[in-house]
Each structure stands twice: as structure tokens, then as C-alpha cells.
Structure 1
Amino acid sequence: MHFSKEDCLKFVRENDVRFIRLQFTDISGRMKNIAITDKQLANAFENGVMFDGSAVAGFTGVEASDMFLFPDPDTFAIIPWRPQQGKVVRLICDIKNHDGSQFEGDPRFILKRTLKKAEDLGYTFQVGPECEFFLFYNDDEGQPTTITHDSASYCDLAPIDQGENTRREICMILEEMGFEIEASHHETAAGQHEIDFKYTDALTAADNIMTFKMVVKSIAQRNGLHATFMPKPLPGVNGSGMHINMSLTRNGINLFKQDEIENDISETAKHFTAGLLSHIKGITAIANPLVNSYKRLKSGFEAPVHIAWSHMNRSPLLRVPAPRGEATRLELRSPDPTCNPYLTLALVLEAGLEGLKNHLPLADPINVNIYNLTSEQEKDLKLERLPSNLFLALEEMKKDPLIHSTLGEHTFNKYLAAKTLEWEAYDNSIHSWEIEKYLKTY
């Protein structure tokens, strides 16, 4: 359902809405929020709501810190778990500078800019994310632990799957907020879950990912649990990914489908894939933004390591799932749910568009299991690897002009600076493994 400003104001007046949450996302992919009362909504639409941009990661300095949130009426949604008397709604916002100009570092704007480029070429970018997360117990002080509340595995049922009720409640809340839930199930690791929602245009998909994370955390908390999207909270088991299913359409027709050759994909899909694979090393610092992200991208835990593609084989970085025809899509398997979805989708699309523009050739698919290759087998197949830690990913990001041009000068430099500090803080720390391994021995 689409809302105009007038629709929002009318709904607020007629449905006992008292508070409005104005939401936006910082460059690290964390949701931020300013609340206003119903009386201020009309002014927010007209003049924006001021906030201190210098207090938000990656935005601006104190010398020009007054920034404004302008709510997007099309993102209007009731927050169902808040009181039904004096309801609370949310609106996702675009960000402007104090002089009314567009803030170049707004992640949502960066995605919109790339989508406009695709639109001018006649393309619509469709995205369906698959978001995984863990549910853990809290301790007696309410702090999260890494103790899971079940011992279930892939697609198990209650009573082994102790998270079934929480997962069902999350799905019902999401549906109340306008999501179309396609599937939900217990994932491979104990305490790990996945909920998939229907594909849509990329901007709505990015907004939905941010809303999804907010709902999962809020409903878990209501059930006395802690939900985390940390990519690898437990050693020795699978981590949490955010696979991105994607297609390009024109006038409602899927441009990735191949009608003539069974199980094949179109030349458009092949060029798009080639562009994406050629830039994936540089994209990785955005799609996998934490030190911890690279603990997930290891062989043996169903996460991709090598830069390759396949038809249905799940071990390469990118695959083409079985459905064909209008359901033909690409599935990028490396991103994790801590990424900023606006920046990640913008980069994925820009890389694919470059592949189309330059008619990049696509290497042959890899149709064998490549999770546990020897170095010799890797060499024979001429496979390259994803960066193995955040430092190497940032080095790849620096080398790729497409990352710089897509993010823009402001966000590129701010992101690089913040993540370099994060890596240095980790690299300068002494970890418990080192103490256990070396203190007595040496």
C-alpha cells in the first residue's frame, strides 16, 4: 500500500496515533531514530526535523552539524508491539543539509542515485534477502550470553526448536507491517534461524532489511532472549549470512531468464554476473564490514571463500538457484546481515551495470564442491579467493575506483577511516586465545 503525505496525516488523525519514530541509517548500517508527537508530523513533512549530524557515525563534523530528516511517506507503518492506545508509527527518512541540499553521505540517497542510473537505462533491480540470526539467553543482569536456547538443526521442529514461537511472532509482526513472508525455519546451527521475505524493488528491500532487524531484536527481547546478527558468534558452527537474491527486469519482464536453452541464463545475466565478480573483492569491505565477518568466510561452514559462480552448486560465491523462467535469479552468498544494505545493494548493482555496459565475458561455471580444495586444485581451477580479513578487504576497497565513485568521496573516506580504526583496535588487542596458547609455553 502506498501512502502520500496526506494519507499519513489523515491516518494519524483518525487512528489515535500519538508518536512517530523518524528512522534513518548511519554508514555502519545501524538504525537511528528521533521521535516526534503527532502534532509535529505536518511540519516534519514540510520543513524536516533537525538533528546533530556530528553525533552520527560517518555523517559530518561539528562545524556543519545541523542536518534535517525528511520522512518518506511511502514507508509509513504502525509499530504493532507498541501500545494500541496512543499508537506509534515509523517513517524512514531522507537526510538533507542545513541549506536544504541533499546530504551526499546519506546511505539511502546513495542507493537511490544508483537506482536512478539503472532506471535511466530501463532497468528495475529486484532483490530478495535471506537473513539469518541467532537467539541466545540473557544472563541474570539482562546482558546477552552466547548460550543458545535450543539444540536443533536445519528445519527441525518444536520441541527441539525452542525458537519456533518467537520466530512465529516475528513473522506475524512483520506481516502486520506489510511484509510478505515466504518462509521461516530453524537454520543449521543450534539457536540459528532464518526468515525470508518476498523480493521487491531494491530500495524497499533495503528499508525492509533495516525494519526486519529492528523487529527481530525487539520481539526476541519481549520473549526474554537476545537476537544477534553477528556473523560468527560461536566457533565451530555455521555463521549467519544474508544471501542476496537479485534480478533485473524491464517492463515487468525478467531479463535474466533464458528461454532457448534449458537451465541456462541470459547474456544479460552473464554480463551482470561478470561485472559483480570482477568487483567483489572491493565490495567485500562493505558487504562484510566487521572483523568478525571474516571468521564466517572460512571453508567448512557453508560460507563462500572462492570467487566463482555455478548453476545450483552452493559452494561458490554466486549461484543460480533452480527455478527458471520469470523466477530466474542470481544469489550472492557472501554478504552478512551486519552490512549497510543501502551501500551493499548500490555497489552490487553498479558492478553488475558495469558488466552490462562493457559486455564483460563470464568464466565457465564451477559445478563441483569447492568448499575444501587443496592449493593445487585451487590453482588448476584458476580460482581467486575473497579477502580473508578486514584489513585485506579495505586494501581491495581502496584499489577499486567503482567503490569510490558509487559511495562518493564523503562516504568512501569516512567508511575507510572508521573501519581502519576498527581493524587497528582489533590488531592491537591481546586475545584470550593468545594467552591460553603462549603464556605458559613461552
Structure 2
Amino acid sequence: MPDGNLTTAEQEVLDQIEAEDVDFLRLQFTDILGTVKNVSVPARQAEKAFTEGIYFDGSSIEGFVRIQESDMRLKPDPGTFAVLPWRTNDESAAARMICDVIDTSTGDPFEGDPRYVLKQALERAKEMGYTVNAAPEPEFFLFEEDEEGRATTETNDHGGYFDLAPKDLASDVRRDIIYGLENMGFEVEASHHEVAEGQHEINFTYDDALTTADNVATFRTVVRAIAAQHDLHATFMPKPIPKINGSGMHTHLSLFTEDGENAFHDETDEFNLSEEARAFTAGLLEHAPAITAVANPTVNSYKRLVPGYEAPVYVAWSDRNRSALIRKPAARTPAASRVELRSPDPSCNPYLALAVMIHAGLEGIENDLECPDPVRENIYEFDETKREEYGIDTLPSNLGGAVDALEEDEVVSDALGEHISEKFVEAKSQEFEEYLVDVSQWELDRYLETF
């Protein structure tokens, strides 16, 4: 039985803290850019964290609040308790819980908390009779560190797609990462070497969208920490090396009804897609340019989103090829019917990215948007005339264009909420302006001695 005002789930966490000899708790949340933040407290403060919350200075967090309104409160979600897997044998354990951020002036959820924004999207889906499932496919690079422990861009292997050792020298690292993730409650489906040297992918199972976003944030932390134990640097930067494939985070989405049926499946349809699935897909296509600002949020993201490196830039869908923005993967069972948005990359804030995808798709369903026909040819081989003939647009070619699209799209802006939309646009506009006035090494190499 729980003690005092504690719920059963909270009491179970206190019992697990004692059983696992946990000394410290990391109370985790993200800023609007997706950077994981945490406040560490002694484990003896766990009950206080549940009953009163833990206060922190929100003015120090990107996009949160101004200095004159800085007190914020963390409310731990007991369902996210997990012991961190990278302690040494002689250390007591540390654990993490993911938190919701509370506005202390009102006692309400803070509108600038990305997790709250995703919860609002899921609430909209619930009101329409749906739950949302999602599964990401995050890719990352492993690089050597120099003698001072700083990251290089030297890969530690020369493997390619699905290669085995000895070419895939990082197989032991991936194994340790998988063990670490499983110890934290992840169900890992598969892992493999990706196309580029030093590039890897680890997939975990479909889950509800909130758990999936929590898992992505945790995944990045675990991968970095365990790679560091092997003297390697793991990066989720979309395009760390020029002229090779970048890292994406293809995201699979589906809606389920209240009776547990997959709302995206229709066995009578040529592609086994229901009307809801088609309308959801149409919503994603309609709002794709604005979604791109959130799902591909860095200047570097657009070095990946170029033709020729398996990255989707063409706003279309297909049931059979990967040149389109959205793919309908083959499904072995009705429950597995889903759509795959292929543009997101792993630098995005997973809460915000999923939130805007969900709102865009639901908007498609609410407005009964008509889904175009699938493009079954390789769009990479189309010239501009043929793309115009098929009515295929392209995603924004840079961060500035994506931010412009976001500002013009009321649906995606409203999905973020006024606070985050304003702060996100401000931060990303500044990032793009700084990029525009910088001079790259490429420019120096090409022009310095020529002109």
C-alpha cells in the first residue's frame, strides 16, 4: 500500500530505489531544442519530488521563461523510472525519471514544456477516438576521439549496410548499448550497421507516442554514455561527413481505436490503407514544409535533405519505393499497418516533432483531405518537368525556408502553442542568420587563392 499521499506507482518507485541501492535520481526533461536537461537529487528526496515537486530556475533553459518569472517545478512521472546502466561495479546506482514541467505561478502544466505539447496532441487524438502509436528508426555515427578526448570525424570501422565484423568493428559497442537499453526497459527489435562507414541504427518496438518520445530522448543519452565508455563519440548530427549518407530518424505512425483496432488498416483497399490513413497521410503531405522546420531543426539537417543520398525531399507517398517523403511499409498483420514519414532526423526534439506530425495528420482526418495517388516510380530519376507533371513539390532546401513555412502554417504553429512557436522561430531564425554570415572552409579552399 502507498504511504500518505503517494500513489501506488510512486510507492513502487520508492521500493525499487531501496532494492536497487539507488543513491541519486536524475530528474530529466528537455528544452525546446530537444537538449536533455536534468536536475540531480539524492534518492532520499524521491518522496518529496512526488509530493511537492523539485524547483529549478527556468530562466537558464533555452526557450523557457524570462528571468523575472523563473521559478519552475519538476513533477516526476513514476512510470519512467529506470536505473541507469553505466555505473561501475563499485558504484551505487543512479536512476532517472522523466518529468513534466509545472508553472509555479498557476500550478498548471507549463505551456513551454515540449512533453506537455505532445500530451496536448494526444489529447486531441483521444477526443477523436484514437490513441497514437509511433516507432522511430534513429541513426547515429560513432567516431574516434583524439588524445584529449575530443570528437573527431574519423570512423572506427569501414563497414557498410548490414556488414559483420571484422568490417563492423562497432558490433561490440552496439551490443553494450542494447544491453543498456534493455536494462532500462527498452524492447530492442534490431540493430545493424548502416550504409555509411561508422553509421549505425538501433530500432526499438512500437509504443504509444509519449513513451516513444521519452524513449528517443533516453536513447540518445544512453548511446552517448556507453560509446564514451569505449572511447568513442556518438553523434546524432544529421550530416557530419560530406558526400555520404546522413543520419535520419524515419518515423512510423498509426492510430488505434478505443476497441484496440488499427484505424489505418482496411483489407479491402489496394494498399490495405483505410480512409483515415489516407486522410492522415494527406495531412502530413499538406503540412510537410512546416513540419520540416521541427523535424529537421538545424542548418546541418539540410545537408542531408538533398537528392542522391537516400534522403526524402519530394512531397509524395508510395507503397513500394523509398524516394517519396512518406512510405506505406508492408505489414504482416492488420495491427502493423502504418505510414512512415522519412524526413525527420535524430537532432529533432522528439516531443515537438511527434506533436506536429500528429496534429497535421489529425487535421487531414478532420477536414477529410483527399490523398493523392501513390508515386510508384523512382522520383530521384524524375526531371523537373516530370515532377511538375505529377504535382510533386520539394521540401524546403534550408532552415530559413523551413522556418518561413512554419510561420505561415497555422496548424503546425498552433500545434506547438504560442509560447514554443515564438521561441522556436526566434532561436532558429538566429541560427540561420549566424550561418549566413559565416565563412566556411569550403569557401576558403575554393576562393581564397583564386580571386
Normalising by structure 1, we get a TM-score of 0.98
Q: Answer whether contact 1:310 1:366 (CA < 8 A) is retained.
A: yes
Counting only pairs closer than 5 Å after superposition, residues 306-385 of structure 1 correspond to structure 2 as: 306-324=314-332, 325-385=334-394
Match of 1:390 in 2: 399
What is the CA distance between 1:398 and its match in structure 2?
0.5
| Helix, strand or coil at the partner of 2:287 | helix
| Helix, strand or coil at the partner of 1:302 | coil
- Answering whether residue 303 of structure 2 is matched by residue 303 of structure 1, we say no
What is the CA distance between 1:234 and its match in structure 2?
0.6
Q: Which amino acid aligns with 2:264?
A: F
What is the CA distance between 1:83 and its match in structure 2?
4.3
What is the CA distance between 1:438 and its match in structure 2?
1.4
- Answering whether residue 285 of structure 2 is matched by residue 280 of structure 1, we say no
| Helix, strand or coil at the partner of 1:403 | helix
C-alpha separation between the residues in 2 aligned to 1:224 and 1:119? 45
Match of 1:90 in 2: 96
Q: Which amino acid aligns with 2:141?
A: F
Q: Out of 217, 241, 244, which is 2:248 matched to?
A: 241
Identity %: 50
C-alpha separation between the residues in 2 aligned to 1:346 and 1:188? 29
Q: Answer whether contact 2:165 2:171 (CA < 8 A) is retained.
A: yes
- Answering whether residue 140 of structure 2 is matched by residue 114 of structure 1, we say no
Q: Which runs of 5+ in 2 are unaligned?
A: 1-6
The list of structure 1 runs, each at least 4 consecutive aligned residues, that deviate by more than 4 angstroms after superposition, is none
- Answering whether residue 410 of structure 2 is matched by residue 405 of structure 1, we say no
C-alpha separation between the residues in 1 aligned to 2:269 and 2:53? 53
Residues 3 and 416 from structure 1, CA distance in 2 versus in 1: closer, same or farther, beyond 3 angstroms? farther
Write out per-residue CA displacement over residues 296-349 of structure 1, whole angstroms, 9 at most, x where no aligned residue: 000000000110000021110000011152211100000000000100101101
C-alpha separation between the residues in 1 aligned to 2:20 and 2:375? 56
Match of 1:192 in 2: 199
Q: Answer whether contact 2:272 2:337 (CA < 8 A) is retained.
A: no
- Answering whether residue 32 of structure 2 is matched by residue 23 of structure 1, we say no
C-alpha separation between the residues in 1 aligned to 2:448 and 2:19? 67
C-alpha separation between the residues in 1 aligned to 2:125 and 2:316? 25
Match of 1:426 in 2: 435
Q: Answer whether contact 1:305 1:371 (CA < 8 A) is retained.
A: no
C-alpha separation between the residues in 2 aligned to 1:90 and 1:66? 22
Write out per-residue CA displacement over residues 349-373 of structure 1, whole angstroms, 9 at most, x where no aligned residue: 1011111011100111000111242
Q: Which amino acid aligns with 1:404?
A: S
Match of 1:14 in 2: 19
C-alpha separation between the residues in 1 aligned to 2:294 and 2:269? 35
Q: Which amino acid aligns with 1:43?
A: K
C-alpha separation between the residues in 2 aligned to 1:113 and 1:212? 23
Q: Which amino acid aligns with 1:312?
A: R
| Helix, strand or coil at the partner of 1:300 | coil
Q: Out of 120, 124, 131, which is 1:124 matched to?
A: 131
| Helix, strand or coil at the partner of 1:70 | strand
Q: Out of 176, 179, 195, which is 2:183 matched to?
A: 176
Match of 2:38 in 1: 33
What is the CA distance between 1:3 and its match in structure 2?
7.3
Q: Which amino acid aligns with 2:448?
A: L
C-alpha separation between the residues in 1 aligned to 2:8 and 2:31? 25
More deviation, 355-364/373-382: 373-382
Q: Which amino acid aligns with 2:294?
A: I
C-alpha separation between the residues in 2 aligned to 1:27 and 1:355? 26
What is the CA distance between 1:144 and its match in structure 2?
0.3
Q: Answer whether contact 1:299 1:372 (CA < 8 A) is retained.
A: no
Match of 1:155 in 2: 162
C-alpha separation between the residues in 2 aligned to 1:163 and 1:391? 36
C-alpha separation between the residues in 2 aligned to 1:41 and 1:187? 41
Q: Which amino acid aligns with 1:90?
A: R
Write out per-residue CA displacement over residues 149-200 of structure 1, whole angstroms, 9 at most, x where no aligned residue: 1111000000100110000111111111111111100000000000000000
What is the CA distance between 1:377 and its match in structure 2?
1.8
RMSD: 1.2
What is the CA distance between 1:86 and its match in structure 2?
2.2
What is the CA distance between 1:432 and its match in structure 2?
1.1
Q: Which amino acid aligns with 2:182?
A: E
C-alpha separation between the residues in 2 aligned to 1:144 and 1:3? 44
What is the CA distance between 1:252 and its match in structure 2?
1.5
Residues 108 and 124 from structure 1, CA distance in 2 versus in 1: closer, same or farther, beyond 3 angstroms? same
C-alpha separation between the residues in 2 aligned to 1:261 and 1:421? 47
Residues 3 and 169 from structure 1, CA distance in 2 versus in 1: closer, same or farther, beyond 3 angstroms? farther
Q: Which runs of 5+ in 1 are unaligned?
A: none
Q: Answer whether contact 1:271 1:362 (CA < 8 A) is retained.
A: yes
**Residues matched between the structures, number:** 441
What is the CA distance between 1:264 and its match in structure 2?
3.2
Q: Answer whether contact 1:111 1:346 (CA < 8 A) is retained.
A: yes
Q: Which amino acid aligns with 2:374?
A: P
C-alpha separation between the residues in 1 aligned to 2:382 and 2:10? 56
